[in-house]
Structure 1
C-alpha cells in the first residue's frame, strides 16, 4: 500500500509539473512582445495561492506522509511566482495595480492560514483547517477550464482547448485522486477527484468536436483544391465564335 501510494505521488508530481510549465509558450510570447496583450494574470495568482496552501498542507507537522504534495506544490509556487513577476513588470499600469492588489490579498490569506495553524491549532484540528483551505482553492484551480469547455460547446471547435493540456489535467487529477484514496486523505482525494472528472469531460469534448474540426478542414482543403484546379486562364472566344485553347485567340 505504501509503495503504491509513493508511486502515484511521483506520477502526480510529473503530470502536475507539466501543467505548471504549460504556460511557458504564452510567456515566451509576452516577453518577446514586451506586453501582456489581452492575457489575464489572475489565474496565475490564484494558482500561486493554491500551491502555497497545498505545499503547507503537505508539511509533516500539518499532514504526515504527504511530503510529495509539498515538493510539487513548492515547485509550482516558484514557477507561478515567476509568471506573476512577469505580469507585474510588463502589464499596463491598470493591470499591474489589479495583479499587485490580488497578490497582496493572496499572500495575506496564506499568512493567516499559516499563522492560525501554527499558533492556534494542533494535531488533527490543524490538519482539517489547512486541508479545507487547500481543497477549496484546488477546486477553484481545476474549475478554471469550465469557461473554455463552454466555448468549445458553443463554437463546436477545440481550437482553444489543447489536447495535451486536457490530457495532463486528467492524468494529474487521477494520480492525486488515487494517491489521496490510498492515503485515506479526503483533502487530497476530493479536489483531485473533481479535477479528474473535469479532465475526463475535456477529453470527451475534444474527441466529440475534433472529428468535426477535421471534417471542416477536409472540406476547406477540398474546396481550395477545386478552386486551384479551375484557376487557370479562362477560355476566350475566338473571332469565329469558337472557344480557343490556353486563352489564345
Structure 2
C-alpha cells in the first residue's frame, strides 16, 4: 500500500514539475526579444512564495520527501523566472516587481520561518506552516475568480433593479389609467354641462333679440306707402315722369294711393 502511494506521489510530482516548466517557452521569447512586453510578474512571485513554503513544510515533515522534491524544483523554476523578469522588464515595472519580491518572497517568507521556529514546537510547526501553505494554494487557484465575482454581483444587482423597475412601473401605469378614467368622466360631465349652459345662453340671446324686434314700433301705412311712391318715382323714365306731373306735395306726403 505504501509503495502504491509512493508511485502515485512520483507521478504527481512529474506532472507538477511539467506544470512548473510550462513558462519556459514564454521566458525563452522574453530573453530573445529582451522585453517582457505585457507579461506580469505577480504569478511567478506568488508561486515562488508558495513553493518555498511547501519546501519548508516538507523539510520539517519526516515523510515529506516527495513534497520537498517537487516544491524545491518548482521554487528553482520560479526563482529563475522572477530573475529573468526583473532583468528584462521596463524600469517602472522592474521597480514594482522588485518591491513585491522583497515583501513576499523575502519578508513574508522569512517572517513565517522565524515565527515557526521560535514560537512553535513539535507538530504545531507543521500545522502552522501547513495552514499557511494551504491558504496560499487555495488563493492561487481561486485568483481567476476575481474577474468573475464582480460581474456576478453586478448581474445580481442589475437584475434586482430591473425587477423593481418593472414592478413599480406597472403600478404607476395602472394608477395613471385610473386617474385618466376618473378624470375623463368628470371632464365629459363638465363638457355636457358646459354645452347645455352655452345652449341656454344662446337661446336667451335669440329670444331677447326676437322680443326686441317685436317691441320695435311698426311703421304706419301712409309712411310706408309714401316710401313706395318715392321709390317708384325714381324708377320712372323722363317721359313717364313728365306725363305724371304735376305731382302735389300733399299727395306725396299723405301717400295718396291714386298716384301712379
For Structure 1 versus Structure 2, the TM-score category normalised by the shorter chain is 0.5 to 0.7
State the alpha-carbon separation in 2 of the partners of residues 55 and 134 from structure 1.
10
Q: Give 1:96's aligned residue.
A: 94
Q: Which has the higher contact order (CA 8 A, sep 6+)?
A: 1
Looking at structure 2, the residues matched to 54 and 99 of structure 1 have their Cα atoms a distance apart, in angstroms, of 22
Q: TM-score, normalised by structure 2?
A: 0.54
- Alignment-derived partner of residue 180 in structure 1: none
CA deviation after TM superposition for structure 1 residue 7, in Å: 1.2
**Structure 2: segments with no counterpart, 5+ residues:** 150-260
Match of 2:130 in 1: 131
Q: Equivalent residue of 1:58, what SS? A: helix
Distance in 1 separating the partners of 2:53 and 2:23: 21
**Structure 1: 5+ residue stretches without partners:** 151-249
1:27-176 equivalences in 2 (<5 Å)? 27-59=27-59, 62-106=60-104, 107-146=106-145
Secondary structure at 1:36 match in 2: coil
Between the aligned partners of 2:76 and 2:39, the Cα distance in structure 1 is 20
Could you tell me how far 1:64 is from its partner in structure 2?
Answer: 2.5
Matches within 5 A, 1:210-229: none
What's the CA shift string for 1:164-212, capped at 9, x where partnerless?
A: xxxxxxxxxxxxxxxxxxxxxxxxxxxxxxxxxxxxxxxxxxxxxxxxx
Cα distance change on mapping 1:149 and 1:75 into 2, 3 Å: farther
Q: CA RMSD in A?
A: 1.8
Aligned to 1:175: none
- TM-score when normalising by structure 1: 0.56
Partner in structure 1 of residue 8 of structure 2? 8
Write out the 4+ residue segments of structure 1 that deviate beyond 2 Å after TM superposition.
140-150
Q: Deviation per CA, 1:59-95, whole angstroms, max 9, x where unpaired?
A: 1xx2231211011111111110010001111101111
SS in 1 for 2:96: helix
Question: What is the aligned residue count?
Answer: 148
Q: Which structure has more helix as a fraction of its residues?
A: 2
User: Structure 1, residues 189-238: CA drift from partner, whole Å, max 9, x if none?
Assistant: xxxxxxxxxxxxxxxxxxxxxxxxxxxxxxxxxxxxxxxxxxxxxxxxxx
